[in-house]
Chain A
Amino acid sequence: MNEILRVNLLSPIALAFVLGVIARVIRSEFALPKEIYQGLSIYLLWSLGLHGGVELAHATFTEIARPAGVTLLIGCITPISAYLTLRYIGRFGEADSAGIAAHYGSVSAVTFIAASTFVKGMGAEPEGFMPTLLTLLESPGIHIALAIGAIRSGAKSRPTSELLHEVLTGRTMILLVGGLIVGFLIGDKNWKVIEPFYDTKGAIFRGALCIFMLEMGILAGSRLGDLKKVGPFLLAFGMIMPLIHGALGSWLGSLSGLSVGGATMLGSMAASASYIAAPPAVRMTLPDANPTYYLTLALAITFPFNVLVGIPIYFKLAQMAHGVG
């Protein structure tokens, strides 16, 4: 286990993230220009979708059916377990509990990409249809948590159609779902032509991810000062909740027939907290939830935790569930 952790901590992705944090802590003026950050995130998500779509074309329905069912189940469990923990153990208000739960129910695409790069580096090739599972997991979590919040806090809820539109037409969903469909349709011959640029195991993709991680480090670093404001309970929550969700994902993923690599990725997805799709949706639907709580948790605690130590742990758990390692 120590060896796996060491390999992960010394990976270019983890170190780029750490450098970003340090740059922010020493108040460097360095930051990625916004357009480059957005451009890279478009490239990463689009590659993920395309490559996933090509692989999806090779999968059979029976291979996907059980993992997909398990993924939807996890999507329903994680927002509820997060909500109950915050509301009844942490004694947080309805809006804050549901707002934070929406982040934990949804998925961080960057954590997904980091997990994908990690397992491929460990030689545990995941199933090609993992991006399909990501899109399945993305939506139910946000909606369940926001519905709980809107109903229980008596907030004047926004029309469901408006919220659904916002989540389903966001950048992540368009690029991922669109990429999956395009990748599915183009066939191997067309894929070969563009593969060097979009291959998610390739040098270009991983290099781009390293630059992207610098900015993630800066974003996380700029929230470090808020750690004081969130208090010890949320600090612990930000690390223990992902461990529980990650263990659940790795275990259920393994039971559903996913390989070690695939189960690790499902665990990482379940453990992750969204910070791109969820914050605006929560801000609009539950305006009395405190943004400092959910943004700091997702960005400054859970994301670094997963990328630095969580993913290797979910990998180990998946190995154990498979009776190897």
Chain B
Amino acid sequence: MNSTPLKMVVIVAEPVLESRLVTELRELGATGFSIVDGRGEGSRHAHASELPGSNVRIETIVPDDVAGRIMEHVSAHYFTNWSFIAYVTDVAVARRAKYS
């Protein structure tokens, strides 16, 4: 089966940010995403955000340029004041057309 290399952006963030992030991902060109709740601790040795609720882990598979835009956007807006992780990994997908 043919597979095409693409990027997966993974964001782990405070639950209050979920709906805002989803809107922004769409605006930046993501065609879809998955969200799962999670538990964990970060460099602050605390739950990401002390507000009740689980962290959210948002994954989206996108072309190179969109991944770059997302990383730039979240670096500029979220890293200072929020418990926030974002990284990019390489993935290989079938049905390339779904992702842009």
Residues of A at the B interface (CB closer than 8 Å) are: 279-280, 283-284, 287-288, 291-292, 295
Residues of B within 8 A of A279 (CB): 51
Q: A291 contacts which chain B residues (CB < 8 A)?
A: 49-51
Residues of B at the A interface (CB closer than 8 Å) are 14, 16-17, 20, 49-51, 80-82
Closest B residue to A155 by CB, please name it: B81
User: 20 A-B residue contacts at CB 8 Å?
Assistant: A279-B51, A280-B16, A280-B51, A283-B14, A283-B16, A283-B49, A283-B51, A284-B16, A284-B17, A284-B20, A287-B81, A287-B82, A288-B80, A288-B81, A291-B49, A291-B50, A291-B51, A292-B50, A295-B50, A295-B51
Residues on the A chain within 8 Å of B14, using CB: 283
14 A-B pairs besides A280-B51, A284-B17 with CB distance below 8 A are: A279-B51, A280-B16, A283-B51, A284-B16, A284-B20, A287-B82, A288-B80, A288-B81, A291-B49, A291-B50, A291-B51, A292-B50, A295-B50, A295-B51
User: Roughly how many angstroms separate A117 CA and B49 CA in the complex, as a whole number?
Assistant: 33
Distance in angstroms from A94 CB to nearest chain B CB is 14
B82 shortest CB reach to chain A, Å: 6
Closest to A286 in B: B81
Name the residue of chain B whose CB is nearest to the CB of A219: B52
Q: What's the Cα separation between A284 and B51 when bound, in Å?
A: 11
Residue in chain B with minimal CB distance to A95: B81
Report the bound CA distance from A288 to B77 in whole Å: 12
Least Cβ–Cβ distance between B26 and chain A, in angstroms: 17
* A287 contacts across to B, CB distance below 8 A: 81-82
* Minimum distance in angstroms from A126 CB to a CB of chain B: 30
In the assembled complex, the Cα of A10 lies from the Cα of B51 at a distance in Å of 31
Top 3 nearest A-B pairs by Cβ distance?
A287-B81, A291-B50, A280-B16
Q: How far is B51's CA from A141's CA once the two chains are assembled, in angstroms? A: 20
